[in-house]
Structure formats: C-alpha cells, structure tokens
Structure 1
Amino acid sequence: MSTRPRIRFIINPVSGTRSKVDVAARIKLYLDHGKLDHDIVYTDYAGHATELAATAAASNYTAVVAVGGDGTVNEVARGLLHTNTALGILPKGSGNGLARHLQLPLNLNNAIKVLNTGEISVIDSGTINDIPFFTTAGIGFDAYISSVFAGNKRRGLKTYVELVLKEVRTYKHLPVKVWLNELEMQTDCFVMAFANAAQYGNNAYIAPLADIRDGLLDVCLVRQLDFIKAINLSYCMLTKQLANVQSAEYFKTKHIRVETEEPMMFHADGEFKGKTSHFEVNLKPESLKVLIPKGKV
C-alpha cells in the first residue's frame, strides 16, 4: 500500500462562473502524480461535500480539495473541522473569499500546482447559531443582499455593488441588543458583520484588519446607512480601508450575542441561512488545517 500523501478532490459540477472547465483533465495534467495519490468525487446534493470530506478525514487523507465557489468551500471545510486533514481550494466561484485571503492563485492551473509544493497552516473558524463559517457571517443588510444575490444569474463584484446601491435605498435598520466583551448596548443595526477573514470575496474588505489566525473575530457594525454612507463604505471596502466612524464601528471579540425585536436575516460565508431573533456568534481558534502556497503563512 502506498505511503504517499493522499488527496481527495471534491467537485461541485455546477459551481461558480467557470463550470465548463474540465477540472479532472487539468488535475491529470498539473498534479505531481509521482508525489501524490488522489481521487476525484462529485457532489450530488446540498451537504454532500461535507459528508465526502468527513469520510476522507476519517480515512486519514492528507488533504481534501474543494473545487468550486465559497459555498462548496464552506461545505468541505465543515467536514474537516478539528481533524488532521487539511483543506485545499481550487477556486471556481465568483467571490472566492477564503482562497483570496489565503493568497491562493485564482488561476486553476496554478492553484493545482500549489498542491504539489504547498505547506499546511492552521486557521480559526467561527460559528453563527452553531453554523460554521470561515470568512464572514452577518445579520441584516448583507444577509438580505446574499439572499437576493443567490437568485441573480449575473455574478461578480460589479453585480454585487449594483445590488447594494439599489437595495440600500429601501432597506430599513432595526433595533437590536448586543452583548460584546464587557459591553451591553442597545443600538440600531443596518448590518453587523462578523469577520474571521478580512473580506467577503471579490476583494471587498468588510474588516481590513481581520486576521484569520489571531483567535478573534472582527465585528463591523453599521447602525444606519443612507446612500452617501453606502458610497463611502463601498469605497473603503474596495480600497481595503477602515470606514469612517460616521459609517461603521469596529470591535474585536471571541463571542457576541445579539437579540432583535424582529427576526433578521443572516448568512454564513455569503450563503443565506434564514431569519431569527437570537444570534450567538463564536470564534473557534485553530480549528482548521489549510493548504497554502509555500512561504505565505
């Protein structure tokens, strides 16, 4: 029996903007087969990637590679939490938030080559109401946009920004109560983002100072947002700057509890998860191993 590292590729055949690319053929061409053993499996339904990843981890695979967008990455990573099997990513989505944060190549061929020479690092993850996330989660407007964006045939940053500027005019802030560190506050909430990584995806930085290995979540609270503040916040997100205090406030924490008078939408890694009135958000330190380019730790 071979003692070489084993890698499982999990492919979502309908993910992202480049789904017609023959990934299996690229793997055959660019993976170092003299160094690595591998198999390729395909997802058939929502949640299938988590099952396939967990099975590989239980069988002591060295890594499981998510081939798809942020939703596929989230599913695969869930199956690898608190195991010795590392997450690899071949980005094939529209946002590619975790791949960008880990400085992985967005070019498919180059991303495969990283698997030949990369190294393993350990990162934090988070949960929102016990649902794992790896880049960001949030309540309010960004969750609403996630629900709208999911039904939009056009993808990418331009579409996302257009939706934000269109919907910001009519979306209303809601009162919330927040427990954060030693602070208890009642405030308006237009959006509250919980950032393990710095960006949503597409290099849109909601929390530019977030560090995926520091054991803390960066919380971005936007109390109210008009069109002018939306322009300022969008500009700061695209230029990797902190928004001014009139537009957003930032906190760092390991745990936050939020209660709302009316049910609010929420998302995890850009995937709309529903509505509720109670949120528990927690940081899970050093909970996921990841394959990254050599020297990028």
Structure 2
Amino acid sequence: MRPDAPCFIVFNIGSGHGDPAAAKKTIADAMRRAGREFELLEVDDPKTLPDIARRAVQMAVERDGIAVAAGGDGTINTVAAAVLESERPFGVLPQGTFNYFGRANGLSQNIEESVQTLLSGRIQPTQVGLINGRVFLVNASIGLYPRILEDREVFKKRYGRHRIVALWSAASTVLRRHRHWLLQLEDERGREAILQTPTLFVGNNALQLEQVGLPQAPDVETGFLAGVAMKPISRWGLFQLAFHGALGRLAHAHKVIHFAFRELTVTPLRHHHQPMKIATDGEVAYLQPPIRLGVAPQSLQLLVPRDPAEAEKARQA
C-alpha cells in the first residue's frame, strides 16, 4: 500500500447516534494535516448505499487508493462486499451500536483514533463469511434472530440507538410466540443432521462468541464459522438462554447446540419452496433455499492499528 494512498470514504454516520458535521470536520482536518488526498461520498438515502460503495471501490482501484466505510454495521458490510474481490485496502471508521467488527479487529469507535489507524495502520487479512453469496462479517442467522432485528429497528426509531434499547427490544421479542423450523443440515464432509429449532445463528466474530461463552471463538480466525442452534424450547426457556449468554455461559446451557464448520447447507423440510428470512450483520433479507454458508475464498485487506496496546484498548471498549 502506498504511504500516500488517497482515501475514498463512504460516509453514512448520520443514520447512527453520532454528529455527522463534527465527524466530517474531524476526518477532513486529520486528512489535511497528514497531507492525504481524500473524498467523502455522503449517503443521503440508504437505497443509494450499494451504488456509492461500488463507486468508492472503483475510484480506489483506478487511483491505487483505499476504500473506507464510515458508519454502522450495515454500511461496513455493504462496502466490504464491494471491496472484497478488488483486493484493495479496506479502512473502517466504525460507528455502530455494538461495534463487534471494529472491536474484534482493534478499531476504535472514537472517530479521531480510527482516522489515525486509517492514516498509519497496517494491513491484516480478515476472514469473511458468505450466505448464498452475500457477505457477512459478524454473523448470519435464520429464524428468530431476524425477527429480533426487525423489532429492534422499531424500538430504535422510537427510543434511540443505544445498547440498552437493543437489549430491551430483544427481550420483548423472545417473550412473544415464535415458530420452530425443521432443518436439514449437511456440512463439508457430507455429515447430515435433522434439527428442530427456533433459530440458527452463524458467527464469524471471535469477540461476540467469546462474550457469550462459546468455545468456537478461536475457530473463526482459522477458516471456520461457528454454528449455534437451540433445541425446541419455551419462551421462558429462551429468555433464560439469553441470560446465560449475557453471563458468558451459553456453552453450558443444555438446550444449546454449537459446532464449527467450513461449509454448511441448510434445507427447510417444511415450506422448502418459500424464501427464508435471514439476517446478515443486522440487515434483514429473504433468500431462496437451500441456504449455503461458508468462508469466502478471498480475505479483506483490513487496515488495523500498528500498536498492539491501541488495538487491545479498542477491543475492550
């Protein structure tokens, strides 16, 4: 990477709880002090985000520069999907509610600190998950979890974008009625299983898995994804499992199934012709089954702090 590589920044901080004007000024001041060329590509309408991300990546390719995502998980995911096959360096100025991707990779949510990483960081190849070809950096899920995310957006619009609001919304969703899926699973070795579960969760983020107490956390840094599912369970039982996760003891809950895999095909045994609601890094969509999960053949060329102490500080935030 050129030390003076220009930065093409997809700027979508306004959708979160940050101050867009202050963030823009901080970025511009730091870039000018460093003598670095940059361009801010602002996102005024979420529907334009994919096109703006592709434009930023194209500019980075043409001018030997860096594609940058400034915003929450959805913005980071969209820019990562656009940059993945280009092999250009990828910078992140994270502003999400939980910031799992940023924290797991030592990227500060403080805009001044993350800009400094953009200017002076080193490249770290970073694993990417795929679900039917769609990128996910933190997690993908089927079943109850996408419903939790939809309800969370309603709560956020009403009460604001804060962690306590997200947790309150999740508890409210879990305590309502939910359906159980009958799924056939087949991994890369041809091993099959039939599973009845309210939700199938697939993790690609060691920090998130560590926090809920799952032993597959190290696996997601070595070419594996982590699968987590629950046996048929009552609403109160689900609430208790959420409590186990909050205490970092999910692996010890007897209703939880967890495993590592490289590739997984998921086929619903009921309503198998209907699209399935899935979630990737907090964004909900519908995919036609079978659902195929795996690790992308390419890695993101992610810019991370050079100083290990700085990275650990961001990880513990």
- Bin of the TM-score, shorter chain as denominator length: 0.7 to 0.9
Tell whether the 8 Å contact from 2:73 to 2:96 is kept in structure 1 after alignment: yes
Q: Please name the residue that 2:37 is paired with.
A: 37
User: Secondary structure of 2:279's match?
Assistant: strand
Decide which moves more: 54-63 or 9-18.
Answer: 54-63
Give how far 1:286 is off. 4.4
How many residue pairs get aligned? The number is 295
Q: Which of the two has greater helix per residue?
A: 2
Relative to total residues, which structure has the larger strand share, 1 or 2? 1
Which residue is equivalent to 2:315? Answer: none
Distance 1:35 1:253, change over 3 A: farther
Do the aligned residues in 1 keep the contact of 2:60 with 2:88 (CA within 8 Å)? yes
How far does residue 277 in structure 1 lie from its aligned partner after superposition? Answer: 4.0
**Among 158, 164, 168, which residue is 2:164 paired with?**
158
Distance 1:46 1:10, change over 3 A: closer
For residues 213 and 200 of structure 1, do their structure 2 counterparts lie closer, same or farther at Cα, with a shift above 3 Å needed?
closer
CA distance in 2, matches of 1:139, 1:206: 21
Mapped partners of 2:247, 2:21: distance in 1: 31
In structure 2, what is the equivalent of residue 179 of structure 1? 186
Which residue, out of 239, 257, 265, partners 2:265? 257
Give the letter aligned to residue 70 of structure 2: V
For 1:144, the equivalent position in structure 2 comes to: 147
Separation in 2, partners of 1:34, 1:18: 24
CA distance in 2, matches of 1:147, 1:62: 36
CA contact (8 A) 1:62 1:85 kept: yes
Shift of 1:22: 2.4
Q: Write the distance in 1 (CA, Å) between the matches of 2:300 and 2:246.
A: 28
- 1:287 alignment counterpart: 299
Task: Using structure 2 for the length normalisation, give the TM-score.
Answer: 0.83
Match of 2:127 in 1: 124
Counterpart CA distance in 2 for 1:236 and 1:88 is 34
The 8 Å contact of residues 68 and 93 in structure 1, kept in 2 or not, is answered as yes
Classify the secondary structure of the residue corresponding to 1:14.
Answer: helix
Counterpart residue type for residue 281 of structure 1: L
Unaligned runs of 5+ in 1: none
1:179 alignment partner, SS class: strand
Paired residue for 1:10?
A: 10
Determine if contact 2:71/2:94 at 8 Å carries over to the other structure: yes
- In structure 2, what is the equivalent of residue 222 of structure 1? 230
The offset of 1:53, in angstroms, is 3.1
1:239-259 CA deviation, whole Å, 9 max, x = no partner?
A: 444432413111111111111
Q: 1:42 to 1:85 in 2, by over 3 A?
A: same
Aligned-partner residue type, residue 172 of structure 1: R
> For residues 298 and 241 of structure 2, what CA distance do their matches in structure 1 show?
31
Name the stretch that deviates more: 178-187 or 63-72.
Answer: 178-187
CA RMSD of aligned residues (A): 2.7
Distance 1:33 1:218, change over 3 A: same
Which residue number corresponds to residue 93 of structure 2? 90
Single out whichever of 265-274 and 277-286 deviates more from structure 2. Answer: 277-286
Gaps of 5+ in 2: 312-317
Summarize deviations over 1:148-202 as a string: whole Å, max 9, x none. Answer: 223331333322222222222311222111112442111112111111113569x
User: Are 1:235 and 2:243 matched, yes or no?
Assistant: yes
Structure 1 runs of 4+ aligned residues shifted over 4 Å read: 203-208
Q: Which residue, out of 66, 69, 74, partners 1:71? A: 74
